[in-house]
Amino acid sequence: MPVPSLDESGNLPPGVHLATLAEVERVFGHGSPRRDWLWKKLVEVVEVARTSGKVKRLIIWGSFVTRKEIPGDLDLFLVTDANPIQDITSGALPDLLDHERARRRFQADIFWMKESIGAATIQDVLDVYQLDRNRRLRGIIEVAL
């Protein structure tokens, strides 16, 4: 699942590109101290998501998945199972599902939806995340969990 080449603006081609964590690291995980640090935070997020059994999809958009040398933070969208917070009182999953906790722990803006909201609504959200600040289409990455 190789990450496609970036365009002349430093963005991925439009679309949701499925990639392994190793591929994300190869293309986006190095290049500046900030990228190195954010990469380590992303690895933490992915580990929490994988071990929780509640996160079905993890999508990255924003400056981290561009050529920008110093990305501001991680912008992530999670799709969870029907009851992601039911019976959860400990562990790290609440750090992903609470926006402020995610900001502090992972330097990430994490948004999430239950998969029960429906594929069409989730796709609508992904369509918005593919727009840059100038409303131009760009690609985003879905990490293979």
- pLDDT tens-digit series, residues 61-91: 999 999 999 999 999 999 998 766 654 555 7
Give domain limits for the chain. 15-143
Which residues, at least 6 apart from 74, have a Cβ–Cβ distance to it below 8 Å?
A: 38, 41, 42, 45, 60, 62, 64, 106, 107, 108, 109, 110
104: helix, strand or coil: helix
- Residue 142 near residue 57, CB atoms below 8 Å: yes
**Rounded to two decimals, what is the model's pTM?**
0.92
Tell me the percentage of the chain whose pLDDT exceeds 90. 81
**CATH fold for domain 15-143:** Beta Polymerase; domain 2 (3.30.460)
Place of tokens 């190789």: 2
E-strand stretches of 12-106:
15-19, 55-61, 74-80
pLDDT digits (tens, 9 = 90+) for 46-60: 999 999 888 999 999
